[in-house]
Amino acid sequence: MLSMTIDGETVDAHDTFDVVNPATGAVEAQAPECTPEQLDQAMTSAARAYQSWKRDDDARRQALRDLADAVDAHQKELTALLVQETGKPLAVAAGEVASSAPWIRYYAELEWPKRVIQDDDAARIEVAHRPMGVVAAITPWNGPVGMWTWKIAPALRGGNTVVLKPSPFTPLSTLLLGRIGAEVLPPGVINIVTGGDELGKAMTAHPTPRKVSFTGSIPAGRSVAVNAAHDLKRVTLELGGNDAAIVLDDADLENAAGTLFAFSMFNCGQICCIPKRIFVPANRYEEFVDAFGAAARSMVVGDPTDPVTAMGPLTTRPQFDRVSELVSDAVAGGARVVAGGKPIEGGGYFFEPTVFADVAEGVRIVDEEQFGPAIPLLKYDTVDEVVARANATDYGLSGSVWSADEEKAGAVAEQLECGTAWINCHAMLPSHAPFSGAKHSGLGVANGEDGLLSFTEQQVVHTARG
């Protein structure tokens, strides 16, 4: 069994919990259930390590380079665990693992931003950024390695130390990352603890961390904000989305349909910022529906370890049940099933790639985040109408506009109430681009220079002269 990492040591727990392989539905591993005492030890260790970690930025940069090399050296084992715990196809899991080290190196090489707002005979005023302390980091099950990377790299470069908890559905790759971190980092700089939602609550309410970095669902994000409020911890919340993709009537339909289909089914539809509602102009609707139907019917679904597989199972039983429920609800509500529409028999949490036409607001699969391989295609008549419909939601993570005319697409994109608006692409997430959610989709910013600054406290240094 893989162990937790606390103060650089491997730590087991008295109790364990089951880890299911979603491709078979069978329990294939156990993970340690962190006790309250062990959480205290992890927090104490992180607070101790912080005292020296915060002091030397050059040492941190070198440590991050070493961490990136160590992650690269373990790509194969990480990929195998990621496939086992998430059901991601091999190539998708390998891609997630391969992107971790470059992301860490980006933060190792990033120049620390400096802002001098006055420098004259009267005064010098500089806006500086200082480390915060211990960060409590909590990740979801849809991208365990990616989300570990998104939190660890800027938090450590910012001079902080971390206690991180992965989702109880997918703890294995993160437990291994804890061991990899311990190979190259001082004890206590990254601590990995595993357990359920209660452990997440204990982390956010714990007196030691100065910041909580959370990625997950909107209800859990609300609970994190409440628990962090009593001692005013800084909070970054990366939450759910219900992205609208708006295809304008001059778009290259073949390209738009092919790309939007691929993204809406990527990782079995379990990505926060992929298309979840696709709006198509009435005069091009049937053409688009046909293209989506054909793509869905030709998608290879099956064993994630088989290299020909394009889509594996849903990652968790609750998510499988939820997608099944939303699909049944859409059918009952009169949606036209263009492709798929049901679970795939034979063990595991497999679901057919599903496309709905003639469906609109008021049906749950349109109004809620489905987080699964079932995509509704919605018909619209005017641009004003489609913008209003895209924005008529509490979600505000991201969205996209598709057109042959960049300027025209830009004019629509700027009206979208969301943190990222893509034009002729979707879900593009380079390390240097800030990423944030508007409305209920989040609080604060991740990634890029802004993401680094979100792991710091601002300090104004004001020197009087003359």
Residues at the site binding ligand NAD, with contacts judged by CB under 6 A: 138-143, 165, 167-168, 196-197, 200-201, 204, 215-217, 220, 223-224, 238-241, 272, 369, 371, 397, 437, 442
| Contacts of range 149-153, beta carbons closer than 8 Å, 24 or more positions apart | 149/99, 149/100, 149/103, 149/104, 150/103, 150/215, 150/446, 150/447, 150/451, 151/213, 151/215, 152/67, 152/104, 152/181, 152/190, 153/64, 153/103, 153/104, 153/106, 153/107, 153/108
Whether the Cβ atoms of residue 130 and residue 457 lie closer than 8 Å to each other: yes
Nearer to ligand NAD, 124 or 201 (CB): 201
Nearer to ligand NAD, 293 or 419 (CB): 419
Residue nearest to ligand NAD (CB): 200
The contacts of residue 462 (CB under 8 Å, 6+ apart) are 123, 124, 125
Nearer to ligand NAD, 63 or 268 (CB): 268
238 is catalytic: yes
The least CB distance from residue 134 to ligand NAD, in Å, is 16
Nearer to ligand NAD, 217 or 328 (CB): 217
Whether the Cβ atoms of residue 153 and residue 189 lie closer than 8 Å to each other: no
Catalytic-role residue among 96, 238, 352, 369: 238
Nearer to ligand NAD, 388 or 433 (CB): 433
Give the span between the Cα atoms of 135 and 81, in whole angstroms.
26
The least CB distance from residue 140 to ligand NAD, in Å, is 3
Residue indicated by tokens 């079932």: 374
The least CB distance from residue 37 to ligand NAD, in Å, is 19
The least CB distance from residue 171 to ligand NAD, in Å, is 9
The least CB distance from residue 236 to ligand NAD, in Å, is 10
Query: For the stretch 175-207, what's the b/e string if a residue is b when 16 or more beta carbons lie within 10 angstroms of its beta carbon?
Result: bbbbbbbbebbbbbbbbbbbbeeebbbbbbbbe
Say which DSSP state 385 is in: H
Residue indicated by tokens 């420098």: 119
The least CB distance from residue 16 to ligand NAD, in Å, is 16
Kindly give the interhelix angle for 90-98 and 100-109, rounded to the nearest 10 degrees. 10
Nearer to ligand NAD, 143 or 348 (CB): 143
Q: Which residues are catalytic?
A: 238
